[in-house]
């Protein structure tokens, strides 16, 4: 008997909700075949069978929550006794082979599951909000991918029902009373990640400004060319390229710190993460081997990742194994910030809003296009001087955009 545990898939995901079982108790299963789809706060994970046999017991039913480490399924593989623990290599294989999809696999199994009630697709935060509002979520028309119900759908429904503007501030609680609202699964993951980062990593932050007038002009020149290739060319693509080139010169910024071993682990690949603001909270997908891609390729993949993050169609692999992160304050019209490093990475670049301001060029005061930059580093292994040199190199590339094409 094989005791199949719900594995730790990382990224702050410590629990999931059973969205759909594709195999019923008593069914034969084949190793690698999808057993169940589990809805987490970030992705919907298709969990494959780790071994062939017969599904004897489902660890949790559809709609129920399952915790990492608890039994997901009992599979009779023809052996006597129960495996209480999976070998380390099998555990790693299960996690590594997880495939993610936003769609419930259906057509080939419609006959056997025709009588099963259809479960409404919805984000975890939308389910929680629906419970608080006393709304039957199955009656709500979702506007997300494949009709998924989003938080905004519920808020819009409430606004129409009450005939008030959607974003009207909530009335304050009566004097002497307080209001408590449980945080969403996404927010729980963010709480855990941010707390770990600030507790473990001694941050130091350096700030500077880049005169990006030449970059603004260059982007205008090539914007139409990019659109002709179906690419939305934002400033972020150039910033990403500048960071990647700077990492080539200063590889310690693409590392992690193994405190137990007292070793710096230099990563073999640069997986560049971009923080994306979504209705459900912050998600950080990353571009694998980003240093091998052109500016157009970076721009295209960035757009796809951002859309996937907002629609909850990202694959698990797209949010795992990041090595350096960029966060964009400019997207919310902010100049400077002090970003928090995504543990176990060692640095993060914060980018502000490009804006016009007086600058000194030579001995003259001119109106310049200025980009604020903030670099936070793990001060255990990166000194302020190294952080300063890295930031200066990023500035040089952004102030001289042709260098981005010559490297």
Active centre residues (catalytic): 379
Using DSSP bridges, classify how beta strands 203-211 and 2-5 pair: parallel, antiparallel or unpaired. Answer: unpaired
Task: At 358, give phi and psi (nearest 5°).
Answer: -65, 135
Expressed in angstroms, the distance from the first to the final Cα of the chain is 56
Quote the tokens at residue 183.
Answer: 């945080």
Q: Quote the CA–CA distance of 280 and 386 in Å, as a whole number.
A: 36
Phi and psi at residue 247, to the nearest 5°: -65, -35
Q: Are the C-beta atoms of 370 and 183 separated by less than 8 Å?
A: no
- Taking the C-alpha atoms of residue 305 and residue 123, their distance in angstroms, rounded to an integer, is 18
The full 3-state SS of 176-226, as one line of letters, equals CCCCCCCCCHHHHHHHHHHHHHHHHCCEEEEEEEEECHHHHHHHHHHHHHH
Contacts of 181 (CB under 8 A, 6+ apart): 132
């Amino acid at each position: 008997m094989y005791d199949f545990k719900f594995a730790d898939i990382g990224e702050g995901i410590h629990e999931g909700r059973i969205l759909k079982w594709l195999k019923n108790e008593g069914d034969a299963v084949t190793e690698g075949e999808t057993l169940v789809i589990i809805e987490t706060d970030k992705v919907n994970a298709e969990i494959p069978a780790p071994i062939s046999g017969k599904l004897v017991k489902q660890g949790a039913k559809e709609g129920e929550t399952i915790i990492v480490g608890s039994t997901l399924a009992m599979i009779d593989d023809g052996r006597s006794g129960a495996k209480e623990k999976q070998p380390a290599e099998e555990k790693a294989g299960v996690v590594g082979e997880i495939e993610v999809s936003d769609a419930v696999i259906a057509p080939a199994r419609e006959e056997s599951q025709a009588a099963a009630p259809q479960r409404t697709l919805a984000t975890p935060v939308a389910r929680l909000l629906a419970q608080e509002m006393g709304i039957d979520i199955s009656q709500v028309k979702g506007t997300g991918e494949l009709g998924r119900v989003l938080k905004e759908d519920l808020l819009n429904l409430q606004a129409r029902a009450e005939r008030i503007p959607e974003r009207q501030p909530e009335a304050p609680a009566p004097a002497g009373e307080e209001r408590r609202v449980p945080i969403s699964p996404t927010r729980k993951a963010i709480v855990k990640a941010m707390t770990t980062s600030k507790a473990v990593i001694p941050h130091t932050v350096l700030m500077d400004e880049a005169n990006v007038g030449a970059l603004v002009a260059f982007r205008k020149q090539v914007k139409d060319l990019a659109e002709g290739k179906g690419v939305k060319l934002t400033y972020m693509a150039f910033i990403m390229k500048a960071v990647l080139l700077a990492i080539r010169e200063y590889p310690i910024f693409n590392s992690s710190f193994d405190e137990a071993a007292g070793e710096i682990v230099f990563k073999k690949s640069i997986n560049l993460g971009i923080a994306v603001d979504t209705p459900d909270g912050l998600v950080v997908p990353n571009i694998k081997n980003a240093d091998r891609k052109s500016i157009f390729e970076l721009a295209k993949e960035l757009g796809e990742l951002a859309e996937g993050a907002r629609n909850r169609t990202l694959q698990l692999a797209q949010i795992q194994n990041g090595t350096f992160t960029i966060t964009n304050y400019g997207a919310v019209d902010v100049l400077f910030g002090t970003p928090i490093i995504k543990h176990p990475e060692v640095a993060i670049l914060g980018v502000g809003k490009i804006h016009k301001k007086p600058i000194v060029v030579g001995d003259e005061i001119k109106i310049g296009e200025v980009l604020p930059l903030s670099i936070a580093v793990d001060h255990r292994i990166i000194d302020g001087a190294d952080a300063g040199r890295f930031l200066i190199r990023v500035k040089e590339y952004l102030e001289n955009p042709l260098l981005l094409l010559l490297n």
